[in-house]
Copies of this chain bind each other. A is one copy, B any other.
Amino acid sequence: MPAAIHESRPNRRGVEVRERVLRTAWEAFSREGFRACSLARIAADAGLSQAGLLHHFPTKEDLLLAVLRWRDELELDQVGRTLPTHTGLSVLSRLLRLVEINVELTDVVRSFTVLSAESVSEGHPARDWFRARYTRVRAAVADALQSGVDSGEIRAGTDCHAVATEVCAVMDGLQLQWLLDPGAVDMVALFRDYARRLDAALRNPAREAPDTPDGQDTRDTGDTPGGTAPSAAP
């Protein structure tokens, strides 16, 4: 009788190590970028040898993709539940809250900034992932705005997808300048100003109740770390 097929059935210990490696790799990629960072260093920081690491993730590229998938799951758990609860212009308040959280998470923001920019190179292993991510985030924000249009809160004829793209761009662009020169760029204040102006421009004038995104929103937004932009549940 042949031995039972040795499925990669992870026991408790294996999952622990795997997760520790993923977290360490994520931090390393964030500091130095994917290409510049070495497996040996990640392995050492995670407390195992390089060969040991490669037992779990056969190649460096596999490790990167695993890290990105792992981040996906984290964000899906965290943001996926809270973002859809905000519809219409309140999504701007939610995003402002995200910026407020991000300003305390320099490493996470740097991760997304470094990795996403690196991934625009032709043939970069993370390119598809980032493209899909932006597609998803833009759609989520656009959906939230569209429901505002449907309810009459937002002006009819608003191009919600265009606005969503612009909002993501502001977040990303501010992050870059903030990372380069934190003392000169007040990311939270700048995004708040932008969001207020956008709110005023989009709001349907034939309505009242100006719940401007001034950070005084008291809904439960959750303490959701997020990179460049929030991920949303599909």
| Partner-B contacts on A (CB < 8 A) | 31-33, 35-36, 110, 113-114, 116-122, 127, 130-131, 134-135, 138, 159, 162, 165-166, 168-174, 176-177, 179-181, 184-185, 189-190, 193-194, 197-198, 200-201
Contact = CB atoms under 8 A, between A and B. Distances in A.
B135 A181 contact: yes
Given A169-B173, A173-B172, A131 B180 contact: yes
A166 B193 contact: yes
Contacts of A113: 117, 120
Contacts of A138: 177
Nearest to A137: B177
Contacts of A31: 121-122
B33 A118 contact: yes
Copies in the complex: 2
Nearest to A193: B162
Name the residue among A118, A180, A198 with the largest chain B CB count within 10 angstroms: A180
A168 B173 contact: yes
Given A168-B173, A170-B170, A181 B134 contact: yes
A119 B172 contact: no
Given A120-B176, A201-B201, 15 more contacts: A31-B122, A36-B36, A110-B120, A114-B120, A114-B121, A116-B176, A119-B180, A131-B180, A162-B190, A165-B190, A169-B169, A169-B177, A173-B173, A197-B197, A200-B201
Contact of A165 (B166, B174, B179): B174
A166 B180 contact: no
Given A121-B33, A170-B173, A172-B172, A193 B159 contact: yes
